[in-house]
Amino acid sequence: MFLPDWRTVLSSAFRASSSPRTCLLGGGFRCFTAKTSPDEEEQKKKEITLAEAKKLMRLVNLEDMKKKLVDLPDEAHVFARVLDDAGVVLIFRDKVVDLIRRVFPTDETAEEAQIKDEFNKMRTMKEEIDVLAHRQVRKILWCGLATAIVQISLFVRLTFWEFSWDVMEPITFFATATTILRCDDFSSLFPPNTKVKCMSDAGFFLDAVDISGAHSIRRMYSGVVNTQGLQNTLPRTCTSHLDPTLCFFPQNIINQVKTPLFILNSAFDSWQIENSIAPPSADPSGSWHNCSSSFKCNTSQMQFLEAIYTLVANQN
């Protein structure tokens, strides 16, 4: 579509209005044309009617005209007045932004400069703290990995070269139980937003009643606690209302561990069957020997073990 130049359209839109005519009644109908001065004629030529302004807006490419008016301030003021009379608002974004910018002060005061300097110092300190925290966390993780490798290697060496599994089995179980006892202490070494989870591989010893109705494993734990002086190392949240020996059993402290804890333990643990459920002191006749050593259990023994299994499942 061919669009005429806006200057041509604007020039043609300004026209001289018809000369005013005066009519008189009396003795006949007479009309005469009033003469105007050259200055008035020139002023009328510069005026534009509402209809002409609307016609102009329909003919001119408005967006292109706006771009050209930005570079022509003198003509822009004249045409802006025409648009205002026609009911059209024309906004010059660069002028509006400039006016808004002038409202806000650009010079910083002494107080603002001091606040900015303090903020920059705090930001620098935060970056240094983040770097140190990252290094500390990585150091703890690598130390934990190294400790786990050394522990596993040591247990393998002692189990297959130095001693036997009968000797090392309770030692490994006690070492694993430390994961439950010290889970929260390990989690406290990391920042609060660090996700820490503990997993205990076996070591979930139960304070169960043996086949004779006694607590054989409790007596053994009592000797360990008293001999090693573990009363002060056990969680105080447990020792404050229970005997320290009972606090050595994971079943009495897992509810107080705040860190997510995962327990990996077999329901029918051969060591617990042999030393906690059917120890030699509770089975002098040896009726449970085949069941505890090779799991060749009769019906009554299986029912007893099923009850222990239910107890383990409820504790977890």
Please report which confidence band the pLDDT of residue 200 belongs to, taking 50, 70 and 90 as the band edges: confident
Q: What percent of the chain has pLDDT over 70?
A: 63
Query: pTM for the complete prediction?
Result: 0.44
Residue 232 pLDDT: 80
Q: How far apart are CA 273 and CA 302, in angstroms?
A: 12
What is the residue-averaged pLDDT of the chain? Answer: 73
Q: Which of 66-75, 136-145, 218-227 has the lowest mean pLDDT?
A: 66-75
Give the H or E element holding residue 294. helix 289-294
Q: What distances in angstroms separate CA 209 from CA 109, 136, 201, 206, 272, one per listed residue?
A: 79, 45, 23, 9, 11
Residue 247 vs residue 80, higher pLDDT: 247
Residue 182 vs residue 153, higher pLDDT: 153
The DSSP string of 92-117 is: -HHHHHHHHHHHS--SPPHHHHHHHH
Q: Angle 110-157/165-181 helices, nearest 10 degrees?
A: 160
